[in-house]
């Protein structure tokens, strides 16, 4: 077996094992893993904001707009690092509001085209979108747990599939 193929197999094995471990963590910790992901994104914001401020201080051509943006990104990063639960809890609600608005728009559009062949399909899909949005708004915690469970199971299945596929190369 060539070195190249061996390195691909080794990388695939690492990814498969990482996928399984991450999937198990999502199943066990659910909200904790999501909070960790938010904290990692917050760290990126903190770094980006700090770098922007440093560049502002060392550059001769200073832009107050870039300084303001850097300070805002830094502040958001700090807020979400200290309180990741804000994002974890509010994201399904924001998505739910968006889907409610989209669902209502789709229902109204379907009602305006009652004579169309696709009226019933548009109406049903609009109502379903509206219902999913309402579910997201009123059951945000459940939704995040469901997402974590589905993601965890998917990662475990993917990792196991990769391991099974790698057996063919040996």
Region 85-94 average pLDDT: 80
In the predicted model, what is the mean pLDDT of the chain? 84
| 60 found inside a domain | yes
Q: How many domains does the chain have?
A: 1
How far CA 1 is from CA of 13, 129, 162, in Å, comes to: 16, 52, 19
Residue 18 lies in a domain: yes
Nearest to 158 by CA among 170, 146, 147, 150: 150
Cα end-to-end distance, the chain, whole Å? 9
Q: What is the mean pLDDT of residues 20-35?
A: 79
Q: What one-character-per-residue DSSP string does 92-106 give? A: HHHHHHHHHHHHHHH
Q: Which residue intervals of the chain are DSSP H helices?
A: 3-29, 31-58, 64-82, 84-112, 119-138, 140-167
In the chain, how long is the greatest CA-to-CA distance?
65
Q: Examine residue 2 and state whether it is found in any structural domain, yes or no.
A: no
Let me know if residue 95 belongs to a domain.
yes
Of residues 83, 86, 102, the one with CA closest to residue 140: 86
- pLDDT of 168: 65
Structure confidence by residue, pLDDT tens digits, 126-152: 899 999 889 888 887 777 778 778 878
Determine, yes or no, domain membership for 116: yes
170 confidence band (pLDDT: 50, 70, 90) = low
* 8 A C-beta contact, residue 134 and residue 96: yes
By residue range, what is the domain housing residue 114?
A: 7-167
Mean per-residue pLDDT, 14-21: 85
Q: Is the separation of the CB atoms in 49 and 67 below 8 Å? A: no
39 or 166, higher pLDDT: 39
1: tokens are 């077996």
Name the residue with higher pLDDT: 112 or 118.
Answer: 112
Q: If you search the block for the tokens 């080794």, which residue do you land on?
A: 10
Residue 1 placed within a domain: no
CA of residue 145 relative to chain centroid, distance? 13
How confident is the model over 12-27, as a mean pLDDT?
Answer: 83
- Please state, for a pLDDT cut of 70, what percent of the chain lies above it: 96
């Amino acid at each position: 077996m060539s070195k190249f193929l061996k390195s691909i197999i080794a990388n695939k094995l690492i990814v498969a094992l990482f996928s399984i471990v991450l999937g198990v963590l999502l199943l066990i910790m659910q909200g904790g893993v999501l909070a960790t992901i938010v904290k990692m994104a917050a760290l990126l914001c903190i770094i980006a904001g700090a770098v922007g401020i440093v560049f502002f201080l060392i550059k001769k051509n200073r832009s107050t707009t870039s300084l303001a943006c850097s300070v805002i990104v830094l502040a958001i990063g700090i807020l979400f690092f200290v309180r990741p639960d804000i994002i974890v809890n509010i994201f399904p609600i924001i998505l739910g509001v968006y889907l409610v608005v989209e669902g209502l728009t789709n229902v109204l559009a379907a009602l305006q085209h009652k004579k169309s062949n696709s009226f019933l399909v548009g109406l049903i899909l609009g109502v379903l979108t509206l219902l999913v949005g309402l579910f997201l708004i009123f059951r945000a915690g459940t939704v995040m747990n469901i997402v974590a469970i589905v993601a965890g199971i998917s990662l475990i299945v993917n990792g196991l599939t990769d391991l099974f596929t790698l057996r063919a190369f040996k």
